[in-house]
C-alpha cells in the first residue's frame, strides 16, 4: 500500500478539520450563549412579576409589613421553586440552629418533637440526664402551651423555637398527658446529644445504636466500638433504624475502622464529574456484622448500611429503607443566613445510587402493627434484632 500523501491532500484535510472544529465550536458556543440569553430573559420576567406583586401587596395589605420576615419569605419561596425537598434557604437564626444541630450540641431541655395532628407539639423522645428527663417528661406527652401562650396561637415553628433559648434561662411548659394538663418549669442548659451508644448482648454480640451522624457521633461511636472490642465482642450489630442521616464526613469516619483500604463512596455532579467522598485506610475490623434498617433509615445512614453490605462486611435486616441518595451542601450567605442545596447524587464504590429506591434488606423482617416505638421496644420484643442475632450466632 502506498503511504505517501500529497501535500495538497494534506492541506485539504487540515483545512477540513479546522472548518469542522470551527463549526462545532461555534455551534457549542451559540447553544450556550442562547441558553444564557434565555436564562437572563427568564430572570428579568421573574423580577418584573415580583415587582408587580410587591407593589400590589404594599398598596393593599391591611397590616404593617415586617420587612425582615417578608425578605426571608421571598428567599424561601425562591428556593422552594426548585421543587427539591432537600434544598432550602435559612435565615440567620435558622442557620445558627443548623450549625448547632450538625455539631450534636444544643441548648434546650432535651426533647425531640414532631407536629401532632392537633397542631400541638408531640414529644417523640426524651434524652436521659436532661432537664426534660429530670422533670419526668416522657415520649407521648403533648406540649400545649409555652410560657402561658397556647401553641396553636404561636404556630408550631415559632413554638418550637421558643423551647430553645439561652443556657440558664427558665422555660414554662403546659404538658398534656392522658387528657390532663400539667405545668412544668425547666431551666435550659447545654446538652451533648447522644447519637451513638453500645451495649453487650447475649453471646458476646456487641450492639451499637446510631440515631444520627453529627460531628460528635464519631467520638461516641469509636468509644462504643472500642469498649465492646475490649469486652470481647465476637460479632457486631449496627442499628440505624430511624436514622435520617447527617454528615457524610462523620459516616466516613465511622466506616473507616470497619472497611478495607480504598475508595468507599463517590459523589456524581451535574456535569458528570465524580469525586471521592469517603476513603478507608488499611486498618480493617474482621468480625461478623449485621445492620438493622427500616423505612426511616435515610441518606447518610443508608450510605453507612450500603457500604458495609457492598464490601461484604454485613447483611441488612429489617424493611426497605427511605431512598435518599442525594447530597446537600450548605453555603453561608453575607447576611448570616444560609443556602442548603442539593449538589450531587452519591453511591458506594460497588453499587448504584439508591435515590428513590432505597436498600432492600437481605432478610426482610416486618414489625407487628402494635409494635412499641423503637426507643421503647425491648430487645426480646424486637423481631428485626432477634433475626440478626440468630444469623450472627450461626442459626437459620
Q: What average pLDDT does range 37-47 have in this prediction?
A: 77
CB atoms < 10 A from the CB of 299, how many? 26
Task: State pLDDT tens for residues 153-162.
Answer: 999 989 998 9
Q: What average pLDDT does range 306-315 have in this prediction?
A: 98
The pLDDT, as a whole number, for residue 47 is 87
Task: State pLDDT tens for residues 69-104.
Answer: 999 999 999 999 999 999 999 999 889 889 988 998
Distance CA 71, CA 92 (A): 12
The pLDDT, as a whole number, for residue 396 is 52
Task: Report H helices in 111-238.
Answer: 131-134, 151-154, 156-163, 217-230
DSSP tag of 246: B
- The Cα angle at residue 196 between residues 193 and 199, in degrees rounded to 5: 130
Residue 62 cell numbers, joined: 391591611
What is the residue-wise DSSP string for 133-160?
Answer: HHTT--TT-EEEEETTEEHHHH-HHHHH
Distance CA 394, CA 123 (A): 39
More confident call, 46 vs 296: 296
DSSP element (H, E) containing 170: strand 170-177
Distance CA 338, CA 219 (A): 27
Task: State pLDDT tens for residues 7-36.
Answer: 444 444 444 444 545 544 555 455 555 555
Residue 365's SS3 state is coil
The pLDDT, as a whole number, for residue 4 is 40
Q: What average pLDDT does range 362-379 have in this prediction?
A: 91
- pLDDT reading at 297 higher than 60: yes
Q: Which residues are CB-contacts of 348 (< 8 A; sequence separation ≥ 6)?
A: 264, 265, 266, 303, 306, 307, 310, 311
- When pLDDT is cut at 50, 70 and 90, the band that residue 44 belongs to is confident
From residue 358, how far is each of 135, 263, 306, 310, 326 by CA, in Å?
39, 22, 10, 14, 12
Distance CA 169, CA 163 (A): 11
Residue 251 cell numbers, joined: 459516616
The pLDDT, as a whole number, for residue 45 is 86
The pLDDT, as a whole number, for residue 21 is 52
- When pLDDT is cut at 50, 70 and 90, the band that residue 374 belongs to is confident
Q: Which residues on neighbouring strands pair with residue 186, listed in sequence order? A: 171
Q: Which residues are CB-contacts of 203 (< 8 A; sequence separation ≥ 6)?
A: 234, 235, 389, 392, 393
The pLDDT, as a whole number, for residue 13 is 44
The pLDDT, as a whole number, for residue 6 is 47
- When pLDDT is cut at 50, 70 and 90, the band that residue 2 belongs to is very low
Task: State pLDDT tens for residues 316-351.
Answer: 999 999 999 999 999 999 999 999 999 999 999 999
Alpha carbon of residue 218 to chain centroid: 16
CB atoms < 10 A from the CB of 263, how many? 13
Task: State pLDDT tens for residues 230-281.
Answer: 999 999 999 999 999 999 999 999 999 999 999 999 999 999 999 999 999 9
Q: Which residues on neighbouring strands pair with residue 293, listed in sequence order? A: 318
Amino acid at each position: 500500500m502506498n503511504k505517501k500523501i500529497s501535500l495538497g491532500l494534506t492541506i485539504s484535510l487540515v483545512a477540513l478539520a479546522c472548518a469542522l472544529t470551527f463549526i462545532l465550536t461555534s455551534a457549542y458556543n451559540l447553544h450556550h450563549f442562547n441558553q444564557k440569553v434565555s436564562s437572563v430573559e427568564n430572570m428579568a420576567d421573574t423580577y418584573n412579576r415580583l415587582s408587580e406583586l410587591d407593589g400590589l401587596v404594599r398598596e393593599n395589605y391591611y397590616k404593617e409589613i415586617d420587612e425582615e420576615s417578608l425578605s426571608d419569605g421571598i428567599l424561601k419561596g425562591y428556593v422552594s421553586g426548585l421543587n427539591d425537598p432537600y434544598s432550602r434557604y435559612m435565615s440567620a437564626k435558622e442557620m445558627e440552629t443548623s450549625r448547632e444541630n450538625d455539631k450534636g450540641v444544643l441548648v434546650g431541655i432535651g426533647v425531640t418533637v414532631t407536629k401532632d395532628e392537633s397542631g400541638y407539639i408531640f414529644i417523640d423522645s426524651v434524652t436521659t440526664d436532661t432537664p426534660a428527663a429530670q422533670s419526668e417528661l416522657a415520649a407521648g406527652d403533648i406540649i400545649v402551651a409555652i410560657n402561658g401562650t397556647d401553641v396553636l396561637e404561636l404556630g408550631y415553628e415559632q413554638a418550637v423555637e421558643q423551647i430553645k433559648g439561652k443556657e440558664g434561662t427558665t422555660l414554662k411548659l403546659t404538658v398534656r398527658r392522658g387528657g390532663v394538663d400539667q405545668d412544668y418549669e425547666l431551666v435550659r442548659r447545654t446538652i451533648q446529644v447522644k447519637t451513638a451508644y453500645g451495649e453487650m448482648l447475649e453471646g458476646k454480640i456487641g450492639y451499637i445504636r446510631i440515631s444520627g451522624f453529627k460531628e460528635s457521633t464519631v467520638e461516641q461511636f469509636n468509644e462504643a466500638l472500642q469498649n465492646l472490642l475490649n469486652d470481647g465482642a465476637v460479632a457486631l450489630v449496627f442499628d440505624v433504624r430511624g436514622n435520617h442521616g447527617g454528615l457524610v464526613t462523620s459516616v466516613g469516619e465511622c466506616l473507616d475502622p470497619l472497611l478495607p483500604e480504598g475508595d468507599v463512596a463517590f459523589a456524581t455532579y451535574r456535569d458528570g464529574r465524580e469525586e471521592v467522598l469517603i476513603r478507608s485506610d488499611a486498618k480493617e475490623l474482621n468480625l461478623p456484622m449485621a445492620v438493622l434498617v427500616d423505612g426511616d433509615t435515610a441518606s447518610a445512614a443508608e450510605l453507612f448500611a450500603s457500604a458495609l453490605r457492598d464490601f461484604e462486611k454485613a447483611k441488612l435486616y429489617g424493611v426497605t429503607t427511605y431512598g435518599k441518595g442525594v447530597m446537600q451542601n450548605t453555603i453561608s450567605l453575607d447576611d448570616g443566613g444560609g443556602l442548603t442545596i442539593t449538589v450531587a447524587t452519591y453511591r458506594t464504590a460497588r453499587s448504584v445510587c439508591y435515590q428513590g429506591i432505597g436498600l432492600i434488606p437481605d432478610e426482610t423482617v416486618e414489625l407487628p402493627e402494635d409494635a412499641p416505638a423503637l426507643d421503647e421496644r425491648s430487645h426480646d420484643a424486637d423481631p428485626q434484632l432477634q433475626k440478626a442475632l440468630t444469623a450472627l450466632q450461626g442459626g437459620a
